[in-house]
Amino acid sequence: MEHLKKRLVEDFTKIGPMSLEMADNDPNKKTKAYALYRYYLGENIDLELKDNFTQLLTDYVFGVPGDLVALAHSTCAQPHRHTFSYKLTHRGQRSESDLLNTTIGKHWVIHGDDILYLFLGETFKLGLQPLERPEDLALRDIMSKLWINFAYTGLVLDLPSHCRNPTPDGSLGFTWEAVENDNVHYLSLTPSPAMKPDTRRKGVLSPTKL
């Protein structure tokens, strides 16, 4: 890992764009890569800022592409269907990262952790232990209800449009609002879920800037 970090710093012109899988024929790949790294890691590209580097990859690989897909679905689906966005922000007792046997990022929520709240860990990946903590079990129950409501209300086309969503009656104590126009707000999944604004819109990776 250390030699990779050294190469990135010493030969950024080549390794920077490559690390972000930018197209070889992109004439602006060096400028884009430098802008991204500088935005998240500072002028001198401090790779010791592990949380910042992780956020860069999260936004670049998952976050912004997900926003763009949500916007496209929302534009094409209305008024007959709605598009809903969520983010698992609760770091429970169990995580898929437990299998990596590392001390780094124990507070991170990683890609795939949401599956642990819908299926038993062992059925998803060998070695994962079942949920135990009360707050994790509470979130599991909420997510199960959301997905059941999602399936039911999405299929019953004669429901009023305001009821055609995963929180049709307010019984869960919150309302999951659909993506509308260019507003990619999302449901933050915790034991006490709540709607959150799209924070990536202000950053260098915002869909409008891309």
Neighbour count for residue 33 (Cβ, 10 Å): 21
Find the range with the poorest average confidence among 42-51, 78-87, 129-138, 150-159: 150-159
- The answer to whether 52 and 41 have CB atoms below 8 angstroms apart is yes
Long-range contacts of residues 71-76, Cβ cutoff 8 Å, at least 24 apart: 71/179, 71/182, 71/184, 71/207, 73/179, 74/178, 74/179, 74/180, 74/181
Q: Where are the alpha helices (DSSP H) in the chain?
A: 2-10, 12-19, 29-41, 50-57, 64-77, 121-124, 134-155
Distance CA 97, CA 106 (A): 8
* 34 — pLDDT class (breaks 50, 70, 90): very high
Supply the DSSP symbol for 168: S
Question: What are the distances in angstroms from CA 13 to CA 10, 17, 52, 156?
Answer: 9, 7, 21, 54
Q: List Cα–Cα distances, 116 to 16, 138, 163, 201, in angstroms.
A: 34, 13, 28, 29
pLDDT tens figures, 109-159? 988 899 899 887 666 677 788 899 999 999 999 999 999 888 877 655 566
pLDDT score, position 181: 76
| Rg, C-alpha atoms of the chain | 20
Residue type, 204: V
Enumerate the β-bridge partners of residue 180.
183
The whole-number pLDDT of residue 203 equals 60
The fraction of the chain above a pLDDT of 70, given in percent, is: 86
Angle at 83 between CA 90 and CA 148, to 5 degrees: 65
Beta bridge partners of 87: 188
Long-range contacts of the stretch 37-40 (C-beta < 8 A, 24+): 37/12, 39/203, 39/204
pLDDT at 36: 92
Residue-wise pLDDT tens digits, 194-207: 999 987 665 655 54
